[in-house]
Structure formats: structure tokens, C-alpha cells
Chains A and B, each alone.
Chain A
Amino acid sequence: MKQHILFVILLTAYTAAFSQNCAIGLSGHVTDSDTRQKLVNATVSLVETGKTIITNEEGDFVFSDLCAGNYTLKITHVNCDTLLRKIVLSKQLHIDVSLPHAVNTLGEVTVTSLKGIQNTGIKKELSGKELEETRGLSLAEALSKMNGVALLQTGATISKPVIHGLHSNRILTINNGVRQEGQQWGNEHAPEVDPFIADNLVVIKGVDELRYGSDAIGGVILVNPKPLRHQPGYYGELNTAYFTNNGEYVFSGMFEQQLKKQPAFSYRLQGTFKQGGNVSTPGYRLNNTGIKEQNFSLTTGWNKKNYNIEAFYSQFRTTVGIFSGSHIGNLTDLRTAIDASQPADIFLGDKTYSIKRPNQDVIHRLFKVKSSFYSGGSKFNVLLAAQYNHRKEYDVQRSSSSNKSAQLNLSILTLSEDVSWDHPKVNNLQGTVAVSSMQQDNSYSGRYFIPNYFATIYGGYWIEKWAKHRWELQGGIRYDFKNIATKRLLFNGAPINNDFNYSTLASSFNTLYKINDDFRVNAGITLANRAPYVNELLSDGIHHGTATYESGDINLKTERSVNIAASLNYSNKAKTFFADITIYNNSINNFIYQQPKPDSPVLTIAGAFPLLKYQQTNALLRGTDITLSYYFFQHLELTSKVSILRAYNRSIDDWLILMPSDRLSNELAYKFKDKGKLTGSYMSAEVATVFKQTRVPSDKYGKQDYKAPPAGYTLLNLNASTTINFSKLPVTFSLGARNILNKRYREYLNSFRYFTDEMGRNISIRVKVPFEKLLH
């Protein structure tokens, strides 16, 4: 009841807003950027309002009676690439737009105006309002807003995405077109990406995943920045956020410009600073759970009629404190910590930003150059990328110890080269043929966990997409050869060398059928093969966070997944009801997992540690994601999401460990009419329920877990946002509240469930200030 009253109060406060007339006009002129001719019959729409206009004989369009605010202008034309452009409207505005000519449609009369054909397999996207609500959160936390994506956590500050039960090396993260190569293998190794780079986040499964590798068993995450600026002038954005729970503040800025004198050149600068203090659960504050992040990126582009080149450099740096109470000496300590209802007072209560040992310090640098050349309907792309990832883990040590360096030092350098050819469109068929290679050098110093290695991959793929009338067919195939040469340089011993070779094949086929404009069905099958990763082959050591001794197996074979998925998209004619339903059946042979060996503990001078051994089994992951939304009336929308997964260990007829439990969320959103200086106002309340995970491995082969899964929980979350148009600046203010009822709970997928409760109430305030100048 409490939440309902709050909702009504906020609602009343919002409707009592001040007023101003909405009578601003937006006019424009559209030309073809190549021929410089005016474009007749281009479709111009204002995405936020839903208004659409067709350009007249002169290539002109006019919108009238608009309120000041931020808009996205979308312009499409049969012969051109679709152009999306953000505009800031504060007074009467005229803009000239030139549309780049679409290569694939040169000289042809076509039925499709889209640039390329989208991936028709499973596709989930986070952009616009939904993405704005995640500003200040980590990449994984943002992704978890998508139905079917859960979080694997180590405390409140380290999280990684889990898609349909799979994570880490089974998911590829594509950062601005480049496959992210960091230390992704560990459960406490979060993706090293600044989400502020992204204009949208997309999860795909299907044919397009072949572009990035043959090993995307769990899917591909695309972190897509928006394209560089096309028009002379500049645009910038300042984002700030503050979170009450841990006093976290975030500043992020972006500035992009295209020079009028040098129309081929444009650039963008972007940077983020973030610092958070110790996290508070409803009952106590956890020491040493701070986080600090400093990121920046620079993009430059050179755009000509027959070619374009883009260079991108980014640096991500984070320092994350690990809750001191989770640093475990041995199995006895772990048991004691688990049995305690809360951590000892000595680990609680500091309200500070300072980060002590144990902690992680991670830096990731990415440099890429992407060039495209156009010739006779073909497009050739060359993508070169270099990445450097350096992870340092600092353990607890005696303060008198002279050695202040990190106990675990992992650095990985990756170079990758991709050359692809988008062939001319023939009979509604578009396709890409490509070859790629990668070289990777991993080295470590300090404590052993994985060896030094040098890996090389050679691969190639071929994708074809065909679309006609109501049908879209897509298919593709990819092959990779991977060599890994490992070298462990033992202290006082001969080096241990190993050499591994893997051939992996992947293919995907997908069919989309549009029953009518409002009803689409889609079905596909994807084969993926993943070579074992070095940690699965050769890890050998103590994992302090979980007090386990992990041991690899050099005889592991490649994992093979056959994923059958189908989806259905439906909306009624009145556009008041939408349904998006996905079902999948992912059968994985030689699934690599860690099997606890309770009968053979490893004896060390610090006591006994339970052994976890990498093993293979045949697994089956099947489930469904259902999203339904319903408009009671134009401004009130209810969205329900359900995500269900069943994960079987088929070889021993049991459940798989550490799989997300069933989730259900209901969100009620009210969108206010634009009124006066206020635009795009909305508020929403979400009731998110996570059920108890009851499907865990039985103890028939010995004890599989230290503690039974925690109880299910329900959280109430709120969001509200409005844009106030101060003379020229449309400033967006947002308010978010997670776990507003300050509920105590623990989550099965968080390894800290053994020690502590989850984060309590967290209220966030966000301000976004965009600014723009157009030159004509």
C-alpha cells in the first residue's frame, strides 16, 4: 500500500507543473550527400512524438507546434542510409540535412530502405529512456535491465552479465566493433567497458554472432557508440549522477564536432569519472567496498565519398575494493563466516571512499582503426585493433611487509585484424565474406593462477541475408583455428610448456516470417564451438574469495552448443498491446564446469581447501523470456517480464550449479503530457521478484555447496524523469530508487551471499545537460 500512496503523491506533484505554450516550428531541407540533389519523398520522423512527414518536391519538411526539448530526428530514403540525429529544440529551428548514399542500393530500385538487414535471431536492445535509467551503473548492471539477462556478482561492486544462464568466456562483448579481450575468465572479473561510450546496448544471438567468433555459445553483447557527427557544428552532453547508498558520484562528458572548413573530418571526446564509497546493506555498512573509475575515449573520423576511416582509442581504469570480511584463510574460516548471521563488527561501519587491501586495479586500453572502401557496389572493410589489459590483485598482507606490489599480476596484449567484403546486392541477397586473425600474449607475475601463453587464431566467415516480401532468410558459417602455447615458469624448477590446437566451426540459420505488419515469427538454429580457455586447462591454485582450490584439466575438449530458438513479436492494430516471446533450447556437449570434489581436499599450510576440478558434461539449458506491455490508455503502460530457465546436467541427471532462478517483473509507467517547459516526463514503479533457486545439484556425489540458496525476494524500484527547458538548455532531471523499501535479501548468483546481505535502499539523482550548435 505504501508504494501506491507514494506513487499518487509524486503523480500529483508532477501534474502541478508550470506551463508554457508549445508552438515551436522545426523546418529542414534534405539533400543527397553525394549528388547534392534535393531528396523528394524522404520520410522524416520525430521519434519521441511519433510525428512523421514526407519531404515535398523541394526536399523540405516542416513540423509545427512542438514543445522545447530533446528530439531524435530519423530520416529515411529508399536510396540512402537511415540517418538518426539528436536535436535540441529551444526556439524556431531550420536544419539542412544531407543523407549519405547507401552503397548497396546504388542505381537500383529496391523495396527495403534499411541499411543492411538486421540480425533476425534473438535481439534485445537497451537504448533511449531505458539506457538513461542505467547511467552511472556498470555495464553488466545496465544489461540486466533486459529480460533474460541476470547478474553474476562478487559483492555489490563486481558484476558480470549472465545471458540465458551463460557468462564469462561464453559471451562475447563487442566494444565499438572490437571483440573485448580482457581477463574475462574469472567470476570476479567484470567487463572492462565504460557504458557511457554506448548509445545503445544490444544482445544478439543468431547469424551476426559469426562476425565475432565461433565461440559465442551464450550470445554477443554489442556496445555501440552512436555514429560520428555528419553535420557541421558541435554537440555535447554532460551527465552527472549521485547515489545515496554509497555516496557514489559520476561525471561523464562528451563533445563532438564536425568542422565546416573540413567537412570530411569529425571527432568525439568522451570521459567518465566515478567514485563510490562503502556500500550499505539495510543493517550495516561493509568496509572496503568502494569503487573508483576513470575512463576516456577519443574517436576521429575521415569521411569521403569512396572511403572512410575511423580511429578510436579508449582507456578504462577501475579500482575496486573487496569486502575485507570475505577474505578467507581456509575452509574452517569460511564455515565460521557462513554460520555467522552477519560479518564481525571489525569489518563494518566505515563511511569512507578509501580503498584498502584486498582490492583489484584494472586497466584496459583499446586502439582501433577501421577503414571502409566503396567500389562498384562493393564495400571493403579493414579493422585493426590492439588491446592491452592489465589486472592487479592486491591481497591482505602484514603491514610491516616490505613488498607493496600486487600479489597477482596479469597482463594480456591482443592484436586483431579483420578484412571483410560486403558484396553488391544481388537478387535481394546481401552478404559478407571475411577473414580474421588474432594474436594474444598473456603474462603473469606473482601468484600463479594461469600460465603465460601466446595464442593465435586464424578464421573466416561467410554470411548471407535474403529478404523478400514477408520473408527474411539468413545463414552463415565460420571456421577458426586456434593455437595456444603455454609456458609456466616455475620458481626453482624447469618451465612447464604445453601446446594446444583447436579447430572450431560455427554456423547459423535463421528464418523470419511476417504474418502481417503487426505479427512476426522467427526461428533459428545456431551451432557454436568453444575451445577451452587457459584457466580451464591449467589453473591451479587457491581462490581466496571462495576458499577453494581450483584445478584445470589439460585434456578438456571443445564445447559444442546447438541452440534452437524461436521468437514471436505481436502488437494489436490499436498499438495498445505488445508481446515479445522467446523460447530457446541450448544443448551443450562437453560443457565445462567446476565439480566440487569434497572427498579430496587440498592440504596446505593454511589448512584444508576443498578442491574444484574442471570437468565436462552434457548440459541442456532451456527457457523462455516473455515481455508483455499493455496501454490502459495513452499515458499509462504496464510492462510485465518473465524469465524462466531450466539448466540440466544430463550426464548425471541433475541440475547445474549457479544458474539464475526464475524472475518476474511488473512495471507501471505513467507518461505525462508535455506541458510548459516540461517535456518527456514520466514516472514508473517496478515490482521485481526473484524466486528462490530450488534447482541446484543434489548431494548424491558429495556436498556441492556450502550453503543452501537464499530465499526469494521482491524489490520495489521507482524511476521518474523530466526535461526542463531553460531558455536554450533542455536539462533532464531523473530520480531513481532501487530497493526503496530497504529490504534485506541475498541473491543466489552473488558469491557474497555466504557473508553479507545485498545493498539496501539506493536513491539516485541524475542530471543531463545537452548542448548543440549547428553551422549552415
Chain B
Amino acid sequence: MQNKFKTLLAVAAFSLVIASCKKNKEEVNANEVITTVQLQLTPVGGGTMLTYKWEDLDGAGGSSPVIDIITLAPGKTYNTEIVIFDKTKNPTVVTSDEVRKEAIDHRFYFEPAAGSNITVSGLDNDPNGIPLGLKSVWTTGAASTGSIKITLRHYENGGKALADLINSTKSSTDAETMFSTKIQ
């Protein structure tokens, strides 16, 4: 009889485990996902601010990203600011604010393709005086078509130094966006 009792006890324990089983939650994308890299270019000497973005709202895989073509006027200078969003969160997370807070662990690299006739200079610095790149100055040359690659590198363990190249093994890539460019 006793064994039957114990078996019953075990079954009861089982039911308890099942009952305590929690409900499934809605998917959350990886925190720190970056959906949008947005460029805000303000022409020096007046003119409306131009906005171009590289956006992949559903993250890796799924539908293809939407990539604007950067169209600029020849022979002009633009004060450029980068804003990064995570639009999978509600409210939208402005990731570039976090990057600014951790300026000493981040760095943007700008790589215009040859013949694109875009020069990027005047990168803002982090508190240690090492380039950050959230703000930069773009100068355009003659009319052309080309591309520019903008890469955000993250120095997770610190150690960011002036001489670090884009492929420094101290850092890893947070964002790597390739825009087509047109100067007309």
C-alpha cells in the first residue's frame, strides 16, 4: 500500500511541476540590436539638412535592409552627425546616446571608395582626445558616383588608441554600413 502512496505522491509532484510551468513570452530581439544608422548632413553656409539612412527593421535575416543613396551637391562642405537607433524597442532606443556616453570605447571609421570625391575630416574626439566620429565634416568634389563605408568599432575591453586601424583586433564591429553616393 505504501508504495502506491509514494507513486501517488510522485504523480502529484509532477502535476505541480507542470502547473508551475510558465507561459511563453513574446520574442525580444537581442538588446543592443542596431536597426538604423542615420546620417544628418547640414550644408555649411545654409541650406536644409539632408537625412539618409541604412535601416534593417527586422534585424539579421528576414526582409532586406532599406539603404538610401546619399546625394550631395558638388564643391560643398557638410557638418555631418550620425544617429543610431534600435527601433525594435518601444520606445525607440537612441543607441548613439550610449555610444556618446562610452565615447572612449567606440570609434567610427569612414572609408569613401576611390573616385567618390568625398573627403571626411574633422572627427570629434572622445574625452581622451582620440577620434570618435559621431560628428564629422564632409567635403565634396566634382560630380561623381561612388560609395562610402561607415563602420562603428567597439572596444569592449577598452584600450582604444590613436593609432588603431579599423581592423584592430582590440575591437569588434557594431555596425558596418555601405552607402552608395552620388554627387550631382
- A residues with CB within 8 A of B: 287, 302, 307, 309, 311, 324-325, 327-330, 332-333, 336-337, 340, 343-347, 367, 369, 371, 373, 382, 384, 386, 388, 395-401, 403, 405, 407-408, 413, 415, 441, 443-448, 452, 487-492, 540-542, 549, 551, 602-607, 609
Contacts and interface: CB of A to CB of B under 8 A. Distances in A.
B169 to A, nearest CB: 4
Q: Which 9 A-B pairs have the closest CB atoms?
A: A329-B173, A329-B172, A607-B176, A344-B169, A447-B30, A604-B60, A346-B159, A369-B10, A346-B170
Contacts of A399: 102, 105
Contacts of A373: 3
Contacts of B54: 605
Given A309-B6, A346-B158, A398-B32, A386 B61 contact: no
B65 A333 contact: no
A2 B88 CA distance: 62
A371 B3 contact: yes
Contacts of A603: 64-65
Interface residues of B, number: 55
A408 to B, nearest CB: 8
Contacts of B158: 346
Given A371-B6, A407-B30, A605 B98 contact: no
Contacts of B18: 415
Nearest to B9: A369
A479 to B, nearest CB: 24
Contacts of B17: 367, 386, 388, 413, 415
B11 interface: yes
A772 to B, nearest CB: 29
Nearest to A488: B27
B156 A327 contact: yes
Given A328-B172, A336-B167, A605-B54, 13 more contacts: A324-B156, A325-B169, A329-B172, A333-B173, A369-B6, A371-B6, A384-B10, A398-B98, A398-B154, A443-B25, A490-B27, A491-B26, A606-B174
A392 B27 CA distance: 15
Contacts, number: 161
Given A384-B11, A401-B98, A605-B176, A337 B25 contact: no
A330 B98 contact: no
> Considering residues A347, A405, A604, which has the most beta carbons from chain B within 10 angstroms of its beta carbon?
A604
B114 interface: no
Interface string B6-35: 110011011001100110111111111011
Given A396-B156, A407-B31, A443-B24, A329 B174 contact: yes
Nearest to A406: B31
A453 to B, nearest CB: 10
A302 B174 CA distance: 59
B168 interface: yes
Nearest to B6: A309
Interface of chain B, main secondary structure: loop
A371 B7 contact: yes
Given A347-B157, A396-B156, A607 B29 contact: no
Contacts of B153: 329
Contacts of A344: 159, 168-170
A771 to B, nearest CB: 31
Interface string B148-184: 0001011111110000000111101111110000000
Contacts of B61: 540-541, 549, 551, 602, 604
Contacts of A401: 31-32, 98
B157 A602 contact: no
B106 to A, nearest CB: 8
Contacts of A540: 61
A398 B159 contact: no
Contact of A398 (B60, B102, B168, B176): B102
A329 B154 contact: yes
B29 A491 contact: yes
A340 B169 contact: yes
A448 B30 CA distance: 8
Contact of A343 (B14, B26, B28, B169): B169
